Amino acid sequence: WTGRLAAPRPGYAPAAWAERCLPGSSAGARRAALRLRGRTYPGPPAVAPRSLLVAADLRGAHRACLSRGGEQRAGFAAGDSWICKSVLSEGHQRTVRKVAWSPCGNYLASASFDATTCIWKKNQDDFECVTTLEGHENEVKSVAWAPSGNLLATCSRDKSVWVWEVDEEDEYECVSVLNSHTQDVKHVVWHPNQELLASASYDDTVKLYREEEDDWVCCATLEGHESTVWSLAFDPSGQRLASCSDDRTVRIWRQYPPGNEQGVACSGSDPSWKCICTLSGFHSRTIYDVAWCQLTGALATACGDDAIRVFEEDPSSDPQQPTFSLTAHLPQAHSQDVNCVAWNPKEPGLLASCSDDGEVAFWKYQRPEGL
Amino acid sequence: MASPFSGALQLTDLDDFIGPSQDCIKPVKVDKRLGSGVAKIHIEDDGSYFQVGHDGGTRKLEKAKISLDDCLACSGCVTSAETVLITQQSHEELRKVLDANKTSAPGQQRLVVISVSPQSRASLAARFQLNPTDTARKLTTFFKKLGAHYVFDTAFSRNFSLLESQREFVRRFRGQADSKQALPVLTSACPGWICYAEKTHGTLLIPHLSTARSPQQVMGSLVKDFFAQQQRLTPDKIYHVTVMPCYDKKLEASRPDFFSQEHQTRDVDCVITTGEVFKLLQEEGVLLSELEPTPLDSLSELPRRDDSTEETVLPSPGLPPDTSTKPLGVSHLLENKHPKCERLPGSPGSQQVLPPEAPPLPRCHRQQVCCHLRPRPSPGAADSRCSSGSAQEPTSHQGGGSGGYLEHVFRHAAQELFGVHVTEVTYRPLRNKDFQEVTLEREGQVLLHFAMAYGFRNIQNLVQKLKRGRCPYHYVEVMACPAGCLNGGGQLKAPDTADKELLQHVERLYSMVRTEVPEDVPGVQELYKRWLQGEGSEQAGRLLHTSYHAVEKASSGLSIRW
């Protein structure tokens, strides 16, 4: 791969599977609590466009990555090594921007710049495209499955967020088209246990949506970031939301339901969201992704300065005004922008990351003593 | 800036990465001269561009112009500046024309006709706490005070639209064996839907669209063809304004299909929204509820013009107010206008109607003789011109606030195709209340399967079903706005009422109006005979139907997509 396209910085990069593990720089990358684990694979080196996203399915077993050429690769863990099991090259005509595993693990949704979202059904090691969701006017930036498994959300550069419903016969229908954002929507994520949807946009806001009668409505707008909000992550309980932005900060927001003890005012029956913590000064470039470990509560960030950082909440801090400490900082995690980080949902401390440098890396994080 | 267009239109037009020079498909013809090589461009102080050729000679370059018409054809352009485009067709434009009428020479004046939609009327009724009849009459007063000559109701032209839709469906249903694309028939009265269909799924959807014109455009035909003939005017001498519940109707009026090349005039010259009417009321300092009512004009009750009468083009401003001794021709025209003058308690016209600071009335003679609008009482003159009444209350149609297409076509088809007389149409809501279906069954068999799909998400689902060949419907009433036309983007909002409550109020007021069955409206049948020379005639086909055109997406080097 030579060079980048002279495009306005999209902040993403298509991905491919790294067929060799990270080079010797990994040895120098040891930091207090972060160690690299990987193996060397035989075979040709990856000719890779850049690495866009990693998604771990809920059982922790599979990983899927996306590629710029429209390919997707799904890899499976087998012991300590990762092997590429399949390449899905039919299906999209342009960059595949995001993939998401369904809660049951049998389906994979892929969102593409060709304005479609493909739904793939897993059949042993094979994947079959069961349907294509059309309707967005231009590039689809993100896709996410609701924990219930029968709702899907997509968002696009056309400023809209779409909610889809799937029935027993694998038929998908659009349930709502939400036009609340005023700019490109970068990311959508569902609440872990409520039917609440969150979206992040180039318009510097985060919006939350819920169902009302037979339609979906925007029930909250979180303002505070000074630039594009790239990604979102709910904490394990769903009471807090982390957002990361081009303004180089991570913000933690907390939900205050009506009648809350802290006396935070709410309008009607919708909870209010307040920013309770801002992590600033840690990142020197745009933060492209944030991931909140559902097992340990650790917060990982993927940054444009090629580094990965992990934060943990100080156990003694006030829940209404928490403080987070930087517990791990891996400067040259990759040789280019880190685009995505994802915690393994089953194995604590196992983190995957991918980068513009075309590689997917796996990391083992150990919480420092005393936490 | 929030776009006032419907959701269906918005999604296709706005794009944050497109610059002004990219993706605009407006073709500018450039005359290429052989061997001219590279030319220099010189900019004058006034901003005009001149091309300087090799020989030193200069040639003024034409400025590329974008109009609202081009907006229809564009798949992603300058519409971030859509406010500019909309103001070209707005109440300000109407004002300009009315003002021009006051000051221009008689030969230059235009006859101003305003057609009000029932939905706009319902919205104004809700705002001013009036019933629909009073709203209609007071609106007539207001528009005539501003300088309009006639105020009509598009519910009348809607009769034609519904009748044509009914006939069309039956024809296509019967012919479905011959053409796979005959069914489903998709309604075409909503321009938001049409623009979306033409731009994103032209080849798939256009064969299914109903060719019947919308009520607005049938009114265009009525006013610019029938009424113009009646008034012995050429169509370009009439300025036809419609009052509509949404902005998308402005785009519909700008379609090239509704522009007469022969007379260089549009069927509908200007569309103003309910909101813009409200602005006009505010600018005039007038409360609609405080105006006196004026009898309604009706296209179907215009008396016949004898051929023996004198030809009259627009009158000269110097006509005396008392025209009882005028030749037959002119008084005939006047009779049209004021069939039944309502005697007002107290002095006619005067302070009850006009606020003290009202602008002077236009100098058209038609206005001068109207007893309601003159500041001075007109002794006796008004009485001699009153003829017995036209219908003095508005009428409407069953089947909801978007015209009632589904209901009318369903009833007609049930009768025509299966001999079933439907007493009540039962709607079954599906996924949401904007997506409902209606079936006609006999002995367990589904004879007719109709649906209504309002709002972008339901349009999406419908289009996807069509794409996969899985659409079970014979007829679908499609509207771009959730809840239909009563909830259009140009309707009035109330700051102190919840949107849902306001909509329900407007719906109630809308359904208060007495409904008619199009077949039974006498004026309609007469017009089919007199004006169109029969149903299914060539005239009817030309004046009551239209066609659609898929929009090709332009691919230019500048539109590289990342």
B318-347 pLDDT, tens digit per residue, is 323 333 333 333 323 333 344 343 333 433
The answer to whether the Cβ–Cβ distance between B461 and A174 falls below 8 Å is yes
Q: What one-character-per-residue DSSP string does B65-87 give? A: ---HHHHHH-SS-GGGGHHHHHH
Q: In 3D, which of A165, A10, A19 has the Cα closest to residue A94? A: A10
What pLDDT is recorded for position B71? 54
Residue to substitute from A158, A164, A204, A211, interface B, most B β-carbons within 10 A? A158
Which of A113, A174, A184 shows the shortest C-beta gap to B460?
Answer: A174
d(CA A175, CA B421): 35
Higher pLDDT, B558 or A295: A295
The answer to whether the Cβ–Cβ distance between A135 and B464 falls below 8 Å is yes
Higher pLDDT, B157 or B102: B157
Kindly provide the b/e burial profile for residues B423-460, where b requires at least 16 CB atoms within 10 angstroms of the residue's own CB.
eebebeebebebbbbbbbeeeeeeebbbbbbbbbbbbb
d(CA A240, CA A263): 17
Residues 6+ apart with CB under 8 A from B186: B197, B205, B208, B209, B210, B475, B476, B478
Q: Of A81-90, B152-161, B240-249, where does mean pLDDT reach its minimum? A: A81-90
Residues 6+ apart with CB under 8 A from B542: none
Which of A5, A8, A137 shows the shortest C-beta gap to B12?
Answer: A137
A258: helix, coil or strand?
coil
What pLDDT is recorded for position B448? 96
What pLDDT is recorded for position B208? 96
Contact B236, B247 (CB under 8 A): no
Higher pLDDT, B179 or A119: A119
Angle formed by the axes of helices B499-511 and B118-128, nearest 10°: 120
CA distance B478 to chain A (A): 16
| Secondary structure letter of residue B310 according to DSSP | P
What pLDDT is recorded for position B55? 74
- Mean pLDDT within B209-217: 97
Q: What chain A residue is nearest to B201 in terms of C-alpha separation?
A: A135
The answer to whether the Cβ–Cβ distance between A113 and B562 falls below 8 Å is yes
Burial status of residue B227 (CB atoms within 10 A of its CB: 0-12, 13-18, 19 or more): buried
What pLDDT is recorded for position A83? 73
Strand A324-330 vs strand A206-212: parallel, antiparallel, or unpaired? unpaired
Contact A193, A238 (CB under 8 A): yes
Higher pLDDT, B60 or B32: B60
What pLDDT is recorded for position B49? 76
Residue segments in chain A with a per-residue pLDDT below the cut of 50? 1-52, 56-61, 66-70, 77-78
Q: Is the pLDDT score of B435 beyond 90?
A: yes
Q: Is the pLDDT score of B17 beyond 90?
A: no
Q: What chain B residue is nearest to A164 in terms of C-alpha separation?
A: B457
Which of A7, A8, A174 shows the shortest C-beta gap to B457?
Answer: A174
- Mean pLDDT within B197-201: 91
A vs B, Cβ pairs < 8 A, gives 55
CA atoms within 13 A on the CB side of A60: 15
CA distance B434 to chain A (A): 9
Q: What one-character-per-residue DSSP string does B270-295 give? A: EEEEHHHHHHHHHHHT--GGGSPP-P
User: Mean of the per-residue pLDDT values for chain B?
Assistant: 78
What pLDDT is recorded for position B179? 83
pLDDT tens by residue, B91-114 = 888 998 999 998 888 888 999 999
Contacts of B482 in chain A (CB under 8 A): 215
Angle formed by the axes of helices B274-284 and B118-128, nearest 10°: 50
What pLDDT is recorded for position A109? 92
Q: What chain B residue is nearest to A172 in terms of C-alpha separation?
A: B461
What pLDDT is recorded for position A175? 95
Residues 6+ apart with CB under 8 A from B164: B212, B213, B540, B544, B545
Tell me: ipTM over 0.95: no
Other beta carbons less than 10 A from residue A82's beta carbon: 21
pLDDT tens by residue, B276-306 = 999 999 999 999 999 999 999 988 776 554 4
What pLDDT is recorded for position B389? 37
Q: Is the pLDDT score of B373 beyond 50?
A: no
For chain B, percent of residues with pLDDT exceeding 70: 70
The answer to whether the Cβ–Cβ distance between B460 and A8 falls below 8 Å is no
